[in-house]
């Protein structure tokens, strides 16, 4: 089901991929989301960008034609022997053992692991060794519907790209609260520790609950991503905070954006299991600072 929101996010991801393909891609990406179909189409697009001779998914060059015909010598799909679990031998044979061989015709050699959450611990440890010292041309794409099943050490060495779906409830927040939220988020960049603490207390005491605050953070970051990738101000949601969004889009790195989204998920889990709300907001705001 492709909602407008999904489509927007897919487009953002695609643009992000294009930037990565033109610059220097990282060695590992976790492309995560709920819909396998979307993950596959996003990763196929990324692969095309990386392998295309013009870095533009032109569809005409020899690399693009190889891909269209179903195979490229520098694209390896790691397929498990049995569905449901990816074992250490699958990773050794499909990835670790092959990565030492240089690419045939492209700048990169790409390994795709679908259902990365199927990897058992031994398989993940084998992958981890490669992630610790990858050759310059190696790019690993892990497609995952359940990133929590991956070792923290794998996650920390990868760039996480979320194919988000669904809205974040910004439209359900009362208008005056939206305005204040926007002001708090705008003020957090460059705030000192006391400022962060005060803002966290304010969020915890003056808002209806984590749905509003965390939904607000997600919407804020979504807007930052829109501006960072396309500069399209008419596609932002929090219009009232445009100047602050513009400067956040300049300041935040992709790494920081991923950290913030990750911390938002963590805060949501912890708050629902009873951990002190203001403290979680503080940790989150620390990352936005």
- Least distance CB 110 / Zn ion (angstroms): 14
- Least distance CB 54 / Zn ion (angstroms): 5
- Least distance CB 163 / Zn ion (angstroms): 24
d(CA 114, CA 37): 11
∠95-98-102 over CA atoms, to 5°?
125
The tokens describing 95, both together, are 């990835």
Q: Which residues bind Zn ion (CB under 5 A)?
A: 52, 58, 61, 64
Q: Which is nearer to Zn ion, 8 or 58 (CB)?
A: 58
Q: Which is nearer to Zn ion, 49 or 127 (CB)?
A: 49
Are 154 and 128 within 8 A, CB to CB?
Answer: yes
- Least distance CB 106 / Zn ion (angstroms): 10
Are 104 and 131 within 8 A, CB to CB?
Answer: no
Are 226 and 245 within 8 A, CB to CB?
Answer: no
Alpha helices in 56-162 (DSSP H): 62-68, 88-91, 121-132, 152-156
Phi, psi (degrees; rounded to nearest 5) at 221:
-65, -40
- Least distance CB 28 / Zn ion (angstroms): 24
Q: Which is nearer to Zn ion, 56 or 240 (CB)?
A: 56
Q: Which is nearer to Zn ion, 64 or 75 (CB)?
A: 64
Q: Which is nearer to Zn ion, 59 or 97 (CB)?
A: 59
The tokens describing 16, both together, are 């992000």
């Amino acid at each position: 089901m492709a909602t407008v929101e999904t489509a927007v996010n897919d487009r953002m991801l695609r643009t992000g991929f294009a930037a990565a393909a033109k610059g220097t891609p990282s060695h590992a990406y976790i492309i995560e989301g709920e819909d396998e179909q979307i993950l596959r189409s996003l990763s196929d697009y990324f692969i095309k960008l990386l392998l295309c001779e013009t870095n533009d998914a032109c569809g005409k060059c020899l690399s693009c034609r190889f891909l269209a015909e179903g195979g490229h010598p520098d694209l390896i799909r790691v397929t498990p022997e049995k569905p449901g679990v990816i074992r250490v031998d699958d990773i050794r044979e499909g990835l670790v053992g092959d990565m030492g061989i240089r690419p045939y015709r492209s700048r990169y050699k790409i390994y795709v692991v679908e259902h990365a959450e199927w990897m058992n611990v031994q398989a993940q440890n084998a992958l981890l060794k490669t992630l610790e010292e990858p050759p310059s041309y190696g790019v690993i794409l892990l497609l995952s519907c359940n990133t929590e099943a991956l070792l923290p050490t794998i996650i920390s060495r990868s760039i996480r790209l979320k194919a988000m779906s669904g809205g974040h409830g910004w439209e359900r927040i009362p208008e005056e609260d939206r305005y204040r939220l926007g002001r708090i988020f705008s003020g957090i960049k460059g705030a000192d520790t006391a400022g962060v603490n005060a803002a966290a207390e304010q969020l915890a005491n003056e808002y209806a609950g984590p749905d509003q605050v965390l939904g607000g953070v997600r919407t804020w970051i979504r807007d930052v991503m829109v501006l960072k990738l396309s500069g399209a101000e008419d596609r932002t949601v929090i219009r009232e905070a445009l100047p602050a969004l513009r400067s956040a889009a300049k300041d935040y790195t992709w790494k920081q954006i991923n950290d913030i989204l990750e911390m938002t998920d963590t805060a949501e889990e912890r708050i629902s299991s009873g951990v002190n709300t203001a403290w979680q907001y503080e940790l989150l705001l620390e990352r936005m600072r």
